[in-house]
Chain A
Amino acid sequence: NAGVTQTPKFQVLKTGQSMTLQCAQDMNHEYMSWYRQDPGMGLRLIHYSVGAGITDQGEVPNGYNVSRSTTEDFPLRLLSAAPSQTSVYFCASSYSNRAKETQYFGPGTRLLVL
């Protein structure tokens, strides 16, 4: 198993540009989520999905869109990038969102918005 994969590893955008961060998992996990990690702060949940076709907002959803057309993929779209979206983005997955389920994180995408 490749686990959770994310592409690209690093991206530089100009303010106003759009892009999609890719996330895929090959563990047949139902629950997938996107987080951002900023210096001096804990990870914060952006969006999550409990299964194909079902998504919901997390703590900091503004400026981001998601969709879940397949179990394997959960892309994160930045509609119009802003410098405040400079961050490290992590995708994570687990079999379910039950209390004892282990969550697996991807290696992260480092985004710089100029």
Chain B
Amino acid sequence: KNQVEQSPQSLIILEGKNCTLQCNYTVSPFSNLRWYKQDTGRGPVSLTIMTFSENTKSNGRYTATLDADTKQSSLHITASQLSDSASYICVVSAGGGSYIPTFGRGTSLIVHP
């Protein structure tokens, strides 16, 4: 069964600090991995998309990495801001004609002033 596990479940950091969120997956065959940011009460917003051949992708202060061999990804947030407080969701899609993505449960990040 395809699975996506995210850690930690929740994280509290001080404004200005860096943090790294983890995503491990067992989806096969692999097509792409996405990171989303979801603010409370809103829909997810795409941060990065990586395919098999990409091992890093940046979007401003967000940098995602992918190790397709170990089936791990990380999302690094640099110089955190209060507006980074949100849930961060890792999503992995399989290839081979499957249109059903597998979502992780998300990491809840709280940035304190």
Contacts and interface: CB of A to CB of B under 8 A. Distances in A.
A interface SS class: loop
Interface stretch (B11-19, B40-48, B67-75): B40-48
B108 to A, nearest CB: 11
Contacts of A100: 32, 49, 51
Contacts, number: 53
A42 B32 contact: no
A59 B46 contact: no
A45 interface: yes
Interface residues of B, number: 24
A104 B42 CA distance: 12
Nearest to A97: B99
Contacts of B45: 105
Which of B42, B44, B45, B89 has the most A CB atoms < 10 Å from its CB? B44
Given A59-B100, A105-B43, A40 B105 contact: yes
A45 B100 contact: yes
Interface of B: 4, 31-32, 34, 41-46, 49, 51, 89, 91, 93, 95, 99-106
Interface of A: 4, 40-45, 48, 50, 56, 58-59, 90, 92, 97, 99-108
